[in-house]
Every structure is written in structure tokens, then in C-alpha cells.
Amino acid sequence: MNTEFSLDSLQVNETIDAHGMLLQMGYQPDAIVKDGKLLRVFCPIHKDQIRRSLILDTEEKYFNCQYTQCPAHTGGPLVALYAICMDMTLTEAANRLRAGVQTQVEPILLEKAQALIEQQNYGEAMNYLLQAREEFPENTITRCKIASLHLERGDRDAGFREYMAAAEEFGVKGDLDKTLSIYNMLMMMAPTNERVRRQMAYLYGRLGRPRDAADLLKLLIDQYIQESNPNQVVRICEELVELLPQDAQIRAMLTEIYAGVGQNVRAAKECETAAHLYMEEGNRSAALDILDWLVENIPGQDHLVELRYKLHTEQPGPTPETTQATAESVEPPDEGGWGDFAADLEAELDATAGPTYTPQELTPDDARITMCRQQLEGMSALERYKLKTFLADTVSEVKANYRNGLISPTELDQIRSFYRAFSIAKEQIDAERKA
């Protein structure tokens, strides 16, 4: 980094405890990996959540990012990293680090903002929140409050951007429960947004939940198929194989996709793998189906012709066949029960928040309801069913995070408001269709 450092800032730099500095910046302890004298973390500058590319040298008091396109790739003293991430000058960073201040968001600013929000004076409330974010950028929760206020004022795009930035900051710092809660809201705001789905899939991978990650990537595949984007479909399928290498259905899907883009050798390889995996599951008919399809569509695959003949002539074993129809070939179940999401969260709030807590109430013309209507009206019945299933699955996670103190009553009420908005929007659409 081409920055001139004062003698004072360099002297402060020599006293910095790199691990303590990361904690002060908001990193969770388990998000910091020690490797000898080095510390490795996800880079907060280019918002990396896949590999720990930012390296801090605890002896040399130096940092650099291994990602060549990142502004931090050239590196510099630790005091410079702190200044960049905390959005302050080198002098301000040196003074704060010298004092060893454990920064906290000034409660007066947030209290004033909350009082003004309750008075529906949103403009003045936003000024206080923006001031809190500027003075204490390490407090990501302030971003969430700003995002919520943007949505309250009907500015969906600004709210989405703030929530996305907050999710990435929480993810980089290793606060994965809060990251997941925000991505749940972002999925409700933009169910087809590729960036949200991909980031949430990566998050599920970090949480050791490959099946959930795969389900999200499958939604991306559906989207790219509709957009006639075969190259993106191939890329996502390959990521799916990395997540779930023993999933026969994914291998079969990849077989047809490779064939569709003319990669016949790779299609044959995936077909053979899929057939063997299906047989290991005892699903002989699915193995035959994928082999029949490949032999009919890609001639010259003699070894697969032999495998197909072998399976056709063998007597089926005693294991019952459990061919599972894909979601596309099944009529979606009844779409009722959308109100259960909000009701479930409301019951949780009533049971634990106490009598002093007053939840937000939504009017029929609330901007969040309008946003949800726009999302739902553009979806097919199958897409609505998939979204409803996703929302239902996340309710238990949201409640568990609340009970464990990972999200506050106010944050829970923001999530509940989204569920309620979807429920009301769905009821409005159904009523109009019946009229």
C-alpha cells in the first residue's frame, strides 16, 4: 500500500497484538486460525467467505491478502489494516489502538434513533443511525437497523444493500448464526438473486450442512435452465458434485447437462458414476433410465451399452426400488399454511420477550407487503411451494437463535415482520384470484 506512515503510527504498530486487534474489529475467536506466527482470516476488504486469504504476521506486525485482485494484496503495517477496516485515518487508528479502547456502539445514538422510529420520524432516525455507523463501523448490527429502516420507508434496494453488506461482514468475522439469519431475510426479499443463493450455499457448507447447500444450488440450476444458460448450469452442477459426490441424482443431472453442451466424454463418465451410485442405493430402474437415455442420445459408448445390457438381463435383487420423482414432475402440494410462519414466531415472542415488548404491526399498504406481492406474483406454483418450504424450514433456526441469545427481540420482530408480510401478500393474491 502506497501510504506514508508517520513515526507515531509505526511506533503504535510495533505494540499491536494482532489477535486482540482482530477481536476488537469484531472477529469471532473461532474465525481466527493460528498458523505458527501467522493468523489467517477471511478478508474484510474484498469480503471473502470461501478461503482465509488475509494473513497477519504477529511478529513482523504486517498483513497482506493472498488474492491478487484485492487492494490489500500489497500489504502493509497492521495499523493500516485497522484504519481501512474501521474507515478512519491512520492517526485516528493509531490513537484508538494506543488507548486500547474496546469500542462499543454509543447507546445514546441508537436510543434516540429508536425513539424517533416509534414516532415515525424516520428521516431524523436515519441521521442518528448513519452517525452511529460512521463513528463505530465495527458494529454490524447498526447496519441491520439501517436496513430495516430503509424497508420501513419503502426503499427496498437500499435495504437489500445494507442487509447484504451486514451479512458479508458477519460472515467474514465468523458470526455465522447472525449471517444465516440475515440471508434468510435476503432470500425472502429476493428469492431468485444469484448472489444471495450462492453466498448462503457457501455458508451452509461452512456450517457442515452440504445437503442444505446443495438444495440452494439446485434452485440456481432451475433458474439458469429457464434462462437457457448452460455454462452456468454446468458450473453449479460441478459445485454440487463437490458438495455431495455420492449423490446419484446430481450425477444423472450432470450427465444430461454435459450432453446438452456437447461434452460427451464427460457426460459418459458422469452417467457411469450415476448408474453405479443408483445400484448401490438399490435403485435399479433409475440406473437403467440414465443408461438408456445416454445410449440413445450419445452413440459409441460401448462400455455403457454393456453395462445397460447387464442390468437389463440381471434379475432384480430383494432390495425394493425407491425411484424418487424429481420436483419438476410432481404437482406441488397445497399452498396453504403461509400464516403459520408468522404465527409461530409471534408465539415465540409472546412466550419469551415479556409484557414490555410491543411487536410491529403491519398495515395492508406496508411497503414490505408490496415487495412480497411483487415476488410472489412473478412465481409459478412450484416456485411458490419451494419458497414456502424454505421459509418453514428456517423458522426453527430463527427461534433457536433467539432462545440462545444470538438475535435480539427487535431483530426477531424484523424477521417475523417479513414472514407476516409474505402471509398477508399471499392472502391478498388468493382473495383477488377468487373474486
Burial class (CB in 10 A: 0-12, 13-18, 19+), 204: buried
Burial class (CB in 10 A: 0-12, 13-18, 19+), 269: middle
In angstroms, rounded to a whole number, what is the distance separating the alpha carbons of residues 35 and 38?
Answer: 5
User: For residue 320, what is the DSSP state?
Assistant: P
What is the Cβ-side half-sphere exposure of residue 350, based on CA atoms within 13 angstroms?
A: 6
Query: Across the strands, what pairs with 33?
Result: 40
What is the Cβ-side half-sphere exposure of residue 38, based on CA atoms within 13 angstroms?
A: 10
The helix/strand/coil state of 337 is: coil
| Phi then psi dihedrals of residue 250, to 5 deg | -65, -40
Q: Are strands 33-35 and 38-41 parallel, antiparallel or unpaired?
A: antiparallel
pLDDT of residue 364: 76
Q: Which helix (H) or strand (E) holds 34?
A: strand 33-35
262 CB neighbour count, 10 Å cutoff: 9
Show the 3-state SS of 54-99: EEEECCCCEEEECCCCCHHHHCEEHHHHHHHHCCCCHHHHHHHHHH
Tell the residue number behind the cell numbers 404437482, with chain if given: 331
Residues of the chain with CATH 3.90.580.10: 7-99
Domain 7-99 has CATH 3.90.580.10: yes
The helix/strand/coil state of 38 is: strand
The helix/strand/coil state of 220 is: helix
The helix/strand/coil state of 41 is: strand
The cell for 199 is: 453466498
The helix/strand/coil state of 76 is: strand
CATH superfamily of 104-190: Tetratricopeptide repeat domain (1.25.40.10)
Q: What share of the chain is helix, strand, coil (3-state, %, to 5)?
A: 65, 5, 30
Tens-binned pLDDT, residue by residue, of the chain (435 aa) = 546 678 888 888 888 989 888 988 888 888 899 989 999 999 988 887 778 899 999 999 999 999 888 988 889 999 999 988 888 888 888 888 887 644 444 577 787 888 888 888 888 989 888 888 877 777 777 888 888 888 888 888 888 888 888 888 888 888 887 788 888 888 778 877 888 888 888 787 777 787 777 777 777 777 777 788 878 878 877 877 877 788 888 888 888 888 887 888 888 999 999 999 999 988 988 899 998 888 888 878 888 888 888 887 775 544 434 334 333 444 444 555 666 666 776 676 566 555 555 666 777 778 888 888 888 887 777 677 667 767 776 777 777 777 777 677 777 777 778 888 888 888 888 888 777
In angstroms, rounded to a whole number, what is the distance separating the alpha carbons of residues 56 and 62?
Answer: 6
How many angstroms separate the first and last alpha carbons of the chain?
A: 65
Q: What one-letter code names the amino acid at 432?
A: E
Task: Describe the crossing of helices 7-14 and 78-85 by its angle, rounded to 10 degrees.
Answer: 100
Q: Are 389 and 396 in contact (CB under 8 A)?
A: no
Query: Across the strands, what pairs with 55?
Result: 40, 64
Pick from 69, 18, 27: which is nearest to 171 by CA?
27
Pick from 135, 134, 137, 159: which is nearest to 146 by CA?
159
The helix/strand/coil state of 63 is: strand
**Greatest CA separation for the chain:** 83
Pick from 157, 149, 163, 158: which is nearest to 200 by CA?
163
Residues of the chain with CATH 1.25.40.10: 104-190
| Helices and strands per DSSP (H, E), number in the chain | 20, 5
Q: pTM of the full predicted structure?
A: 0.56
List, in sequence order, every beta strand (DSSP E) within 36-189.
38-41, 54-57, 62-65, 76-77
Task: Describe the crossing of helices 140-152 and 367-377 by its angle, rounded to 10 degrees.
Answer: 80
Radius of gyration (C-alpha) of the chain in whole angstroms: 26
| Phi then psi dihedrals of residue 337, to 5 deg | 90, 10
